[in-house]
Amino acid sequence: MTVIGGTLARYFGMQCLRSMLTVFGGMIVLIAVVDYVEMMRRLSDIPQATALLVFKTSIFRVPQVAERLLPFCVLIGAMWAFLNLSRRLEFVIARSAGMSAWQFIMPGVIVAFIIGVIGTTIYNPISASLQETSRKLEDDLFRHASTETSTAYWGRQRTDEGLSIINAKSSRDQGAELSGVTIFTFDLQGQFRERIEAATATLGDGTWRLTNAKTFPLNGLPTENASLALRTSLTREQVRESFSTPETVPFWELPQYIKVAELSDLAAASYRLQFQKLLAQPFLLASMVLLAAAVSLRFFRFGGVQNMILGGVVAGFLLYVLSKVTDDMSTAELLSPFGAAWLQVTYGGLIGVVVLLYQEDG
């Protein structure tokens, strides 16, 4: 009896695939309904926000949100499939046919791995593009309402005159237009020169155009200028990339984003983490199947199934907490992106393998 290609192996694999897709589809519908209601509430005071436009803005956000929940959809789907197979005593038939537990788990592991590969290489670029489209639609709606994106901005730039650190209270056009601007300038030796405060800053060709600017030099009196130009080495693409969240960058473009961010002295840790997480996603989904098998293969006649299912849910929750902690540590550069991404895979896989070894071979 081979692991792949046998009738039973294909049957188990299709059962797992059907359950995983059903759970994922149900999650997408739930997210779509909740997000649409929330968007209607947020945009209810904007006359331009028609029901169709709000629906488009909301539905384009759903794939990216659902992508975050994909590992848990695979976990729940695999548990559902294994419990149904166990309840119908089909695992007993498989064992009587000479298949070990590892053999009828392996088709589910392979299915999850393939889903992970498709999710990383195809689904992620599509969801990232749709998320970016949703943000543009949302920005247009809020711009009509004379509001700004309240996203704090921190950035650095280097020119032949020295280093500048830029802070803004809010932004438009993905960072090309800043409001409430404070700029700290340093010379080539790293010595502080002056602080500039301006009402707005607009990115042009090689300059930031500041309005209502006040300059506070290190040695001298403050000066005011209705308009002031500050040289910059940043392009519109580099500023846009500093504003893009890693989740909105397609998998195939992440290496270029990382390279540009590093060359521009912008933070690249979050991009490197996202790249490693997408690389690890097929293995993470495979480990979710092992974790599901560890809590779902017990025969119903033995009892205690409810406690084992609860254990699987708790293990999934602990995995989520671990992912949040490691992601924050990696973003703060306290943990390497590689370690943060693959630690989750190791955690899920080891728990599943150890429990299965104890149940089946111990």
The last residue of a domain, from among 240, 258, 289:
240
pTM of the full predicted structure?
0.74
Residue 124: predicted pLDDT: 92
Q: Write out 115-160 in H/E/C secondary structure.
A: HHHHHHHHHHHHHHHHHHHHHHHHHHHHHHCCCCECCCEEEEEEEC
Bridge-based pairing state of the strands 207-217 and 223-231: antiparallel
For residue 229, pLDDT over 60 is answered with yes
CA–CA separation, 73 vs 321, rounded Å? 16
pLDDT-derived band at 1, boundaries 50, 70, 90: very low
Which of 95, 103, 108, 96 is CA-nearest to residue 14? 108
User: Do residues 309 and 205 both lie within one domain?
Assistant: no
* Residue 262 within a domain: no
Specify the pLDDT at position 143: 57
Q: Distance of CA 48 to CAs 45, 55, 143, Å?
A: 9, 13, 11
Q: Look at the chain and report how many structural domains it folds into.
A: 2
Q: Which domain holds residue 196?
A: 153-240
Both 225 and 304 in a single domain? no
Burial of residue 157, with CB atoms counted within 10 A of its CB: 0-12 exposed, 13-18 middle, 19 or more buried: buried
Residue 258 lies in a domain: no
Between 78 and 190, the more confident residue is 78
Beta-sheet pairing, 192-203 with 177-186:
antiparallel
The pLDDT assigned to 261 comes to: 67
Question: What is the average pLDDT value for the chain, to the nearest integer?
Answer: 80
Q: Strand 177-186: give its sheet, edge to edge.
A: 153-159, 162-172, 177-186, 192-203, 207-217, 223-231
Residue at token pair 């436009």: 53
Answer whether residue 59 is part of any domain: yes
Q: Find the angle CA(262)-CA(263)-CA(269) to the nearest 5 degrees.
A: 5
Confidence of residue 305 (pLDDT cuts 50, 70, 90): low
For residue 253, is it within any domain? no
Give the domain-ending residue among 240, 255, 290: 240
Q: Does the structure show a pLDDT above 50 at 323?
A: yes
Given a cut of 60, whether residue 312 has pLDDT beyond it is yes
CA–CA gap between residue 219 and residue 224 (Å, rounded): 16
Give me Rg for the CA atoms of the chain. Answer: 26
Does residue 30 belong to any structural domain of this protein? Answer: yes
Are residues 138 and 158 both part of a single domain? Answer: no
Q: What is the pLDDT of residues 4-44, one digit of tens each?
A: 447 777 888 899 999 999 999 999 999 999 988 888 887 77
Domain check: are 75 and 216 in the same one? no
Residues 64/117/343/319 CA torsion (nearest 10 deg): 50
- Say if strands 207-217 and 192-203 run parallel, antiparallel, or are unpaired: antiparallel
**Identity of the residue numbered 124:** N
Residues 94 and 177 in one domain: no
Q: What is the pLDDT of residue 39?
A: 82
Q: State how far Cα 71 lies from the chain centre.
A: 12
Between 139 and 130, name the one with better pLDDT. Answer: 130
Same domain, 131 and 158: no
Say yes or no to pLDDT of 51 above 60: yes
How confident is the model over 200-216, as a mean pLDDT?
87
Same domain, 159 and 226: yes
pLDDT in tens, 258-301: 776 666 555 677 788 889 999 999 999 999 998 888 877 765 44
pLDDT of residue 241: 57
Cα–Cα distance for residue pair 227/210, rounded to 1 Å = 6
Cα(190)–Cα(185) distance, integer angstroms: 9
Using DSSP, state whether 70 is helix, strand or coil: helix
* Average pLDDT over every residue of 221-244: 76
**What would the mean pLDDT of 192-217 be, rounded to a whole number?**
88
Say how many Å lie between the first and final Cα of the chain, rounded: 23
**What share of the chain has pLDDT > 90, as a percent?**
16
DSSP for residue 149: B
Residue 104 and residue 189 in one domain: no
Measured CA to CA, the distance from residue 23 to residue 124 in angstroms comes to 18
d(CA 248, CA 67): 12
Whole-angstrom distance, CA of residue 152 vs CA of residue 150: 6
pLDDT at 110: 93
Does residue 127 register a pLDDT over 50?
Answer: yes
Lowest mean pLDDT among 154-163, 276-285, 301-310, 347-356: 301-310
- Has residue 127 been placed in a domain? yes
pLDDT of res. 4? 44
Q: Do both 273 and 135 map to the same domain?
A: yes
pLDDT digits (tens, 9 = 90+) for 60-106: 889 988 998 899 999 999 988 888 887 777 777 777 766 777 777 88
257 assigned to some structural domain: no
- Is residue 32 located within the same domain as residue 138? yes
Residue with tokens 């932004």: 171
Task: For residues 67 and 102, state if they share a domain.
Answer: yes
Last residue of a domain, one of 199, 223, 240: 240
Is residue 63 a part of any domain in this protein?
Answer: yes
Which pLDDT score, from 0 to 100, does residue 2 have?
A: 47
Query: Same domain, yes or no, for 233 and 349?
Result: no
Kindly indicate the confidence band of residue 145, based on its pLDDT and cuts at 50, 70 and 90: very low
